[in-house]
């Protein structure tokens, strides 16, 4: 199985994004994208690829492609390439429960990374269930009201919540910090969700 991510980046230039058609060195980025699509088409249709372990036939490889397609459409791809990906599935936006699971149950998740990172400064950090839920709810809200960037929003939210603590960590050596719902709300209440300029700082 071969997974091809961000295939939407190979779509032709759009009138909504004239910058994608800027010519550099005699060829536009849209032409480059089309060239990559044709190379992929050769692999998806089936060919022999030489490797250090010998020749590999791609006829027996399942290709799965994905893309955000916020400002593009799968129909912007080459028709021949579209025909090689006949099954299309639209994913639903992540719910709060999904974000909580990503934030807390995955191996080496953001919570574990943060705890270990601040532990190097001698600061003990504990995330409560209500604190994790509050961060997930806020990330979901920003994704719903602005551009939906999925689970990547959690990284930005956590950075805002722990920004002051990260800079003050050397002075708080030996202390324990509990990140609960109140802690999260106090750190995020300064961001008025009705103001575009405040929301822009959450857009990755």
pLDDT higher than threshold 90 for residue 27: no
pLDDT higher than threshold 50 for residue 71: yes
Average pLDDT score over residue span 132-153: 89
Residue whose token pair is 């050769």: 42
Query: For the packed helices 96-104 and 129-145, what is the interaxial angle rounded to 10 degrees?
Result: 130
Dihedral in degrees, nearest 10, Cα atoms 162, 168, 172, 178: -10
- Across the strands, what pairs with 57? 48
Confidence of residue 182 (pLDDT cuts 50, 70, 90): very high
Query: Which pLDDT value is given to residue 150?
Result: 87
- Lowest mean pLDDT segment, chosen from 4-8, 27-31, 98-102, 146-150: 27-31
Higher pLDDT, 44 or 25: 44
Quote the mean pLDDT of the chain: 84
Nearest in space to 141 (alpha carbons), one of 93, 69, 92, 71: 93
Is the whole model's pTM more than 0.85, yes or no?
no
């Amino acid at each position: 199985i071969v997974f091809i991510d961000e295939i939407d980046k190979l779509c032709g230039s759009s009138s909504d994004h004239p910058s994608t058609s800027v010519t550099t060195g005699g060829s536009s980025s849209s032409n480059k994208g089309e060239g990559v699509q044709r190379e992929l088409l050769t692999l998806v249709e089936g060919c022999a690829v030489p490797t250090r372990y010998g020749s590999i036939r791609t006829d027996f490889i399942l290709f799965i492609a994905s893309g955000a397609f916020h400002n593009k459409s799968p129909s912007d791809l080459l028709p021949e390439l579209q025909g090689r990906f006949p099954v299309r599935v639209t994913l639903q936006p992540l719910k709060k429960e999904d974000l909580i699971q990503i934030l807390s149950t995955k191996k080496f998740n953001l919570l574990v990374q943060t705890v270990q990172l601040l532990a190097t400064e001698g600061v003990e950090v504990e995330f409560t269930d209500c604190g994790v839920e509050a961060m997930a709810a806020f990330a979901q809200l920003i994704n719903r009201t602005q551009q939906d960037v999925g689970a990547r929003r959690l990284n930005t939210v956590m950075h805002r919540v722990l920004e002051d603590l990260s800079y003050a960590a050397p002075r708080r050596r030996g202390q324990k910090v509990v990140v609960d719902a109140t802690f999260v709300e106090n750190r995020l209440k300064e961001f008025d969700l009705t103001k575009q300029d405040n929301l822009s700082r959450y857009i990755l």
